[in-house]
Structure 1
Amino acid sequence: MSSSSNRRRDDYSYDQDRSRRRDRDGYSERRNRDDDERRPRESQDRKPRDVDRKYGRDRERDRDHAYGYRERDRELERKRDRERYDQDSRRSASPRRQRSSSRSRSASPPKAKPNFGASGLLAAETNTVKSIDGKNSTVLKYNEPPEARKPVLGWRLYVFKGSEQVELLHIQRQSAYLFGRDRLVADIPIDHPSCSKQHAVIQYRYIQEKNEFGDVKGSIKPFIIDLESTNGTHVNDEVVPPSRYYELRASDVIKFGLSTKEYVLLHDEVSS
């Protein structure tokens, strides 16, 4: 009795275990089947999205190809245009850049400006003195000033060599007398080799002076001017400044260059 009941119990437990295994296997099969059925459905749901995204990219690429470049290319081109515009505006607003560019462009030496001043050619032509035969000519280094006048007094030059008088020169007939070695232009030739061709000039000038009472009185006085000679002109053993008028007075002793001749200046009132 007991053995049969035990056998039944064992059969019953075996059947329960087998039914449990069958149910578990069936559940797992159903779950796998549901997973299989669900997976294609999800892939089908996801596939249109992927297709739409792909088609969207294709449409964008087609649009870009239709216009010739992409949006990124357009943005880069806009950026380059802005940078180029900024550089041009800075270059036009910078005077230093303009000066440097103009300086670099003007690498060639600047052209000389026209000079409308006096060239001296007309004065040289006017002051040219020609010889009678026309072979020789000399340009005068001196022109008389506007205040030049002929003297009223009879001025004279007494020429001494040592203690002996060798010559008497009357210098009251014209307003100026030129001394020098060039006999073509010299009014009073001096032949000493230390003297210049155009050495000095005695010029009579009209000068207005005030007296002790404040009255203005005009008079004609003799002056000497050295024409930048090599060895200079001396009055009373003093060197006369070149190219400046030096007033002469009666009894003054004039020497030219290194010559030993002395020219004593006197006029009629003093000599008489």
Structure 2
Amino acid sequence: MGDKKLDVNVEPNFGLSGALAKDTNTFKGVVIKYNEPPEAHKPDQRWFLYPFKGDESLDTIPIYRQSAYLMGRDRSIADIPIDHPSCSKQHAAIQFRKVKGKVSPYLIDLDSANKTRLNDEAIEPRRYYELMEKDIVKFGFSTREYVIMNENCTKDETNDSN
């Protein structure tokens, strides 16, 4: 049988390999860094992101058609592409969660290199932050700002201006 010896001192490794998660959380051949939580829920109100670049208003982004939106530079998987070079390929996610009977949007940073900011404060990675109407979200060093509002807020503002 040759001179090869079997190493009997090797300990078994029962730790998680990540292979199962890797197989189940792949989209278009890319491993997705984010998994939706059990309390994920499609919103029952219409929510929107209003992007601004300086004083210029950009196209409104509806965020009520699904329970989560992945944001990042990788256009093949991002629901909302962020093209700034300081942003990560999978930078952050907006997740709608049903907590205590109420469905609300939450922001989570996906261990991005250059942070996600909520109302000019950097948020901790891998932690949910509830978003309120008129909150401002920024990614990396991009100057683009995203204001979150729902249909009730936009209706109220339309009525106020009449």
TM-score (normalised: structure 1)? 0.53
Unpaired stretches in structure 2, ≥5 consecutive residues: 1-6, 156-162
Q: CA deviation at 1:110?
A: 7.2
Instruction: Supply the distance in 2 between the matched residues of 1:111 and 1:228 (Cα, whole angstroms).
Output: 37
**What is the alpha-carbon root mean square deviation over aligned residues?**
1.3
Q: 112-121 or 236-245: which moved more? A: 112-121
Matched, 1:155 2:47: yes
Q: CA deviation at 1:112?
A: 3.1
Is the partner of 1:225 in helix, strand or coil? Answer: strand
Instruction: Supply the distance in 2 between the matched residues of 1:206 and 1:166 (Cα, whole angstroms).
Output: 30
TM-score (normalised: structure 2)? 0.88
Identity across aligned pairs (percent)? 57
Q: What amino acid is aligned across from residue 196 of structure 1 in structure 2? A: S
**Which of the pair is proportionally richer in helix?**
1
The answer for the alignment partner of 1:220 in structure 2 is 103
Q: What amino acid is aligned across from residue 10 of structure 2 in structure 1? A: A
Instruction: Supply the distance in 2 between the matched residues of 1:140 and 1:223 (Cα, whole angstroms).
Output: 18
The answer for the alignment partner of 2:32 in structure 1 is 140
Instruction: Supply the distance in 1 between the matched residues of 2:145 and 2:70 (Cα, whole angstroms).
Output: 16
The answer for the alignment partner of 2:21 in structure 1 is 123
The answer for the alignment partner of 1:255 in structure 2 is 138
Unpaired stretches in structure 1, ≥5 consecutive residues: 1-108, 131-136, 209-217
Q: What amino acid is aligned across from residue 269 of structure 1 in structure 2? A: N
Is the partner of 2:58 in helix, strand or coil? Answer: strand
Instruction: Supply the distance in 2 between the matched residues of 1:177 and 1:187 (Cα, whole angstroms).
Output: 5
Instruction: Supply the distance in 1 between the matched residues of 2:24 and 2:9 (Cα, whole angstroms).
Output: 32
Instruction: Supply the distance in 2 between the matched residues of 1:110 and 1:250 (Cα, whole angstroms).
Output: 62
Q: CA deviation at 1:142?
A: 0.6
Instruction: Supply the distance in 2 between the matched residues of 1:200 and 1:241 (Cα, whole angstroms).
Output: 11
Is the partner of 1:167 in helix, strand or coil? Answer: coil
The answer for the alignment partner of 2:3 in structure 1 is none
Matched, 1:180 2:72: yes
Larger RCO, structures 1/2 (Cα 8 Å, 6+ apart): 2
Instruction: Supply the distance in 2 between the matched residues of 1:245 and 1:160 (Cα, whole angstroms).
Output: 24
Q: CA deviation at 1:116?
A: 3.1
The answer for the alignment partner of 1:56 in structure 2 is none
Of residues 165, 181, 190 in structure 1, which corresponds to 2:57? 165
Q: What amino acid is aligned across from residue 170 of structure 1 in structure 2? A: P
The answer for the alignment partner of 1:204 in structure 2 is 96
List structure 1 runs of 4+ shifted beyond 2 angstroms.
109-113, 115-118
The answer for the alignment partner of 1:235 in structure 2 is 118
Instruction: Find the structure with the greater CA-based Rg.
Output: 1
